[in-house]
Each structure stands twice: as structure tokens, then as C-alpha cells.
Amino acid sequence: MAVKRKPRQQSQQRSLSLFLRILCPLCGACHFETTEKYDADKMPHPGMIKMLAKYKGYGWPEPPQDDSAGYGCLECLDCGNALAPNGKLKVGK
């Protein structure tokens, strides 16, 4: 008797992105992810973050891709809090 087999489920393509989500330390909102320039051991700068694709088109300014700018200009788009108040980005998955 033939055993009815379930069709093999297409394994969901998991995003193998190495990039981390950047969370606002105050409100927890996440509008950005890290770029390949992100280095947890270095002072963050705008070149380390980029806006998540889903927020493009909202009219929010993209972080300037300027590696010489300081982390003080990295702000949460929701509450305006600094994303790296102590020179450390809060990253999650």
C-alpha cells in the first residue's frame, strides 16, 4: 500500500543577512539596520546604518552616508532619541 507522502515543503528561504536591526534604546522602534561598515567595536557613524526598505517612501530622510559624521546625528525617527547615546548602537534581530 502506497503511503501518501506529503509534498515536500519548500524550505523557506531564510534571510541570511548579516545585518542587524538597530533598535531605539528609548522606545524600541526599529527603522534601521546595520550596513557592512558596522563594527561594534568602533564608534557608530551614519555610514553604519541604513533605513529598512519598508520605511523608504515615508519621506523620512535617509541617514547621510558620511563616515566622518558623528553618532550624535543618529536619531530615532519616532521619538527623536539618540540611537547611540553612549556611542553604542543597540542592535537586535
24 near Zn ion (CB under 5 A):
yes
85 near Zn ion (CB under 5 A):
no
78 near Zn ion (CB under 5 A):
yes
Q: Which residues in the 34-73 window bind Zn ion by CB under 5 A?
A: none
Q: Three-state SS across 35-69? A: CCCCCCCCCCCHHHEEECHHHCCCCCCCCCCCCCC
- Candidates 79, 85, 87, 88; binder of Zn ion (CB under 5 A) is 79
d(CA 72, CA 48): 13
Q: Which residues bind Zn ion (CB under 5 A)?
A: 24, 26-27, 29, 76, 78-79, 81
